[in-house]
C-alpha cells in the first residue's frame, strides 16, 4: 500500500468523527481493550500524561510536551484533530510519525481492523501507542478525544491527569450542564494519581473534589505535600505573571494565559511528585518555543502582517468568547489607523450556532463560508441565522468555499485592516492548506 492508499483505507473503512460527526462516536472501552490486547498492550509500556478539557487541551498538551522536550526527554505527543496532515496527530519530539510507519501498522493489522471495525479515533490512538512503544519514548502526552470517562484514551493509568476547563460542547454525548460535563471529564481522574484542574466554577469544583475523594487523592490543602489534586487557577501563576516571573510564551492570544497556567502547574507537579525532573530553564524554553518544538499551528496564528491576518481554532461558545475578546483587543490597537475588521467564518452543524453568532460583533464585515466536510453548516444557512439575529447588519456575504471567502476578504481589506479566519478547525485547516499551494 502507498501512504495515500493507507489513509484512504482508514477513512473509508472506519467512521471518523471529524468527517461524519456523531455517527463515529463509540462510547465504552471494550473495543479499545480488544485492540490493545491484539497489539500486546503497548499502552502499558508507556509513562503518560493524560489531558482532557472542553478547550485548551491541545495547547496545554503542546506546552507540556515542548517543555519536556527542552529538558531532553524523548516525548510522544498524541492530539486531535489534525489541521492539514493526518500525521500531525502523532509526533515524536516534534516530528510527525513517518509515512512508512503508518503503512506498516495498517498492513500488519488490517485483517484484525476489518474484523473488529474500530472507530477511526480508536485506530489512530492504537497506532500512536504502538509507535510510542516501538520508539521507547521517555514519556507520552496524550490528549483525550471526546469527554473522558468513556473516551478510548481512558484505558491509561497515567502518572498525571490534567483537566483544562469545562464548557458547553458535545451535549449529545456529555450532558447539557457544566456539572454533567464535568462528571464525564472527571472520569480520567484515577486512584492515587496526581491531578491538575485548570479552571473551575463553583458547580464544577465540587464535582472534581468528590471524584478526588473517591480516588483517595484529596490532600490537606493546595500547598501541602500530601495534596494530590491541584487547582491551577488557585496556584499563583497570575501573580508570577504580574511579577514577570512567569515564562514568556510563543502562543499568542489572551486566552492562552489560562492554558499556560495549567501547563505550568502540571509541570511543577510532575517535577515535585514523580521521577520526571524538569528545570525552570526547560519550562522557559518550552513555553518560548512551543510552536517551533512541537509543530503546533492554528492557535491565534498570524498568517500575514499586511493586512494583519489571523486564524484560530476556537469552535464552540466557550472558545469563541475568548476569540471575541482578543479581536476587540487587536481591533482597538488599530482604531487610530481607521482599520476595519473582516471575519471569514464557517462552522459545523452540530455546534451551538446561535449562541456563537450572538457573541460576534456587528462592527465587522463577514464572509460566511463552509469547509469541505459533510459536517459543515451550509454557508447560506449560516448567513440566514446571522441575519435573523442581526437584522440590521448589512456587511455580510456568503461563499461556497473557504478559499473564495479568504480571497475576497483579502481583496476588500486594506493594509490597515484585520482579517480573522475561524469558527471551525476545518476552516482553519483549509486556510493553512492554502499557504502550502
Could you read off the pLDDT of 260-275 as tens digits, one per residue? 999 999 999 999 888 8
Nearest to 286 by CA among 274, 271, 273: 271
Q: How far apart are the first and last CA of the chain?
A: 26
The whole-angstrom separation of Cα 32 and Cα 122 is 6
The whole-angstrom separation of Cα 196 and Cα 250 is 23
CA max distance for the chain: 64
Domain residue spans of the chain: 3-294, 301-436
- For residue 52, what is the enclosing H or E element? strand 48-52
- pLDDT exceeds cutoff 80 at 437: no
The pLDDT of residue 331 is 72
Q: How remote is the C-alpha of 383 from its chain's centroid?
A: 27
Tell whether omega for the bond before 81 is within 30 degrees of 0, i.e. cis: yes
* Residue 95 burial (CB count, 10 A): 12
Q: What residue spans of 232-378 are helical by DSSP H?
A: 237-242, 256-273, 280-288, 290-294, 317-333, 353-359
Which of 227-241, 270-284, 410-424 comes out lowest in average pLDDT? 227-241
Q: Are strands 365-368 and 396-398 parallel, antiparallel or unpaired?
A: parallel
- pLDDT exceeds cutoff 70 at 301: yes
Tell whether omega for the bond before 376 is within 30 degrees of 0, i.e. cis: no
Domain boundaries 301-436, CATH class: alpha beta
Same fold across 3-294 and 301-436: no
Helix (H, G, I), strand (E, B) or coil at 274: coil
394-406 mean pLDDT: 96
CA distances to 60, 136, 437 from 404, in Å? 33, 45, 14
Which of 86-95, 332-341, 363-372 comes out lowest in average pLDDT? 332-341
**CB-neighbour burial class of residue 114 (10 A; exposed 0-12, middle 13-18, buried 19+):** exposed
Can you state the angle between helices 280-288 and 256-273, rounded to 10 degrees?
150
- pLDDT exceeds cutoff 70 at 225: no
Q: What is the pTM of this model?
A: 0.91
Judge whether 208 and 357 are in contact, CB under 8 Å: no
Contacts of 211 (CB under 8 A, 6+ apart): 186, 187, 189
Query: Grid cell 473509508 — which residue?
Result: 12
* Residue 87 burial (CB count, 10 A): 18
The half-sphere exposure of 235 on its side-chain side, counting CA atoms within 13 A, is 27
Q: In what order do the strands lie in the sheet with 139-143?
A: 95-96, 90-92, 75-78, 139-143, 48-52, 160-163, 195-197, 229-231
- On whether the 3-294 domain is CATH 3.40.50.2000, my answer is no
pLDDT band at 378 (very low <50, low <70, confident <90, very high): very high
The whole-angstrom separation of Cα 174 and Cα 168 is 9
The pLDDT of residue 227 is 55
Amino acid at each position: 500500500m502507498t501512504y495515500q492508499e493507507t489513509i484512504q483505507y482508514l477513512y473509508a473503512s472506519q467512521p471518523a468523527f471529524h468527517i461524519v460527526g456523531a455517527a463515529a462516536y463509540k462510547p465504552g472501552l471494550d473495543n479499545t481493550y480488544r485492540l490493545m490486547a491484539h497489539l500486546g498492550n503497548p499502552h502499558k509500556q508507556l509513562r503518560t500524561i493524560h489531558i482532557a478539557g472542553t478547550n485548551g487541551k491541545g495547547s496545554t498538551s503542546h506546552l507540556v510536551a515542548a517543555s519536556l522536550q527542552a529538558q531532553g526527554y524523548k516525548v510522544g505527543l498524541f492530539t486531535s484533530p489534525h489541521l492539514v496532515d493526518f500525521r500531525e496527530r502523532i509526533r515524536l519530539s516534534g516530528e510527525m510519525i513517518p509515512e512508512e510507519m503508518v503503512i506498516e501498522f495498517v498492513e500488519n493489522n488490517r485483517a484484525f481492523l476489518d474484523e473488529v471495525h474500530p472507530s477511526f479515533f480508536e485506530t489512530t490512538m492504537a497506532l500512536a501507542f504502538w509507535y510510542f512503544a516501538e520508539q521507547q519514548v521517555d514519556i507520552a502526552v496524550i490528549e483525550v478525544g471526546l469527554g473522558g470517562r468513556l473516551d478510548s484514551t481512558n484505558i491509561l493509568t497515567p502518572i498525571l491527569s490534567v483537566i483544562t476547563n469545562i464548557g458547553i460542547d458535545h451535549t449529545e454525548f456529555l450532558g447539557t450542564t457544566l456539572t454533567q460535563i464535568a462528571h464525564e471529564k472527571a472520569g480520567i481522574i484515577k486512584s492515587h494519581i496526581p491531578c491538575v484542574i485548570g479552571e473551575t466554577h463553583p458547580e464544577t469544583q465540587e464535582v472534581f473534589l468528590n471524584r478526588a475523594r473517591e480516588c483517595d487523592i484529596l490532600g490537606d490543602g493546595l500547598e501541602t505535600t500530601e495534596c494530590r489534586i491541584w487547582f491551577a487557577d488557585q496556584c499563583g501563576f497570575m501573580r508570577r505573571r504580574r511579577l514577570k516571573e512567569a515564562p514568556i510564551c510563543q502562543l499568542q492570544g489572551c486566552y492562552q494565559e489560562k492554558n499556560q497556567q495549567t501547563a505550568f502547574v502540571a509541570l511543577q507537579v510532575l517535577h515535585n511528585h514523580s521521577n520526571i525532573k524538569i528545570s525552570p530553564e526547560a519550562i522557559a524554553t518550552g513555553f518560548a518555543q512551543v510552536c517551533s518544538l512541537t509543530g503546533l499551528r492554528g492557535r491565534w496564528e498570524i498568517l500575514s502582517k499586511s493586512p494583519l491576518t489571523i486564524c484560530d481554532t476556537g469552535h464552540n461558545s466557550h472558545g469563541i468568547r475568548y476569540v471575541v475578546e482578543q479581536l476587540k483587543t487587536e481591533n482597538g490597537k488599530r482604531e487610530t489607523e481607521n482599520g476595519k475588521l473582516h471575519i471569514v467564518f464557517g462552522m459545523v452543524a452540530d455546534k451551538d450556532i446561535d449562541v456563537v453568532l450572538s457573541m460576534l460583533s456587528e462592527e465587522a464585515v463577514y464572509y460566511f463560508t463552509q469547509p469541505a466536510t459533510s459536517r459543515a453548516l451550509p454557508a447560506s444557512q449560516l448567513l440566514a441565522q446571522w441575519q435573523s439575529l442581526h437584522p440590521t447588519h448589512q456587511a455580510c456575504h456568503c461563499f461556497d468555499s473557504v478559499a473564495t471567502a479568504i480571497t475576497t476578504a483579502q481583496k476588500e481589506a486594506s493594509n490597515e485592516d484585520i482579517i480573522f479566519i475561524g469558527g471551525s478547525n476545518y476552516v482553519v485547516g483549509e486556510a493553512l492548506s492554502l499557504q502550502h499551494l
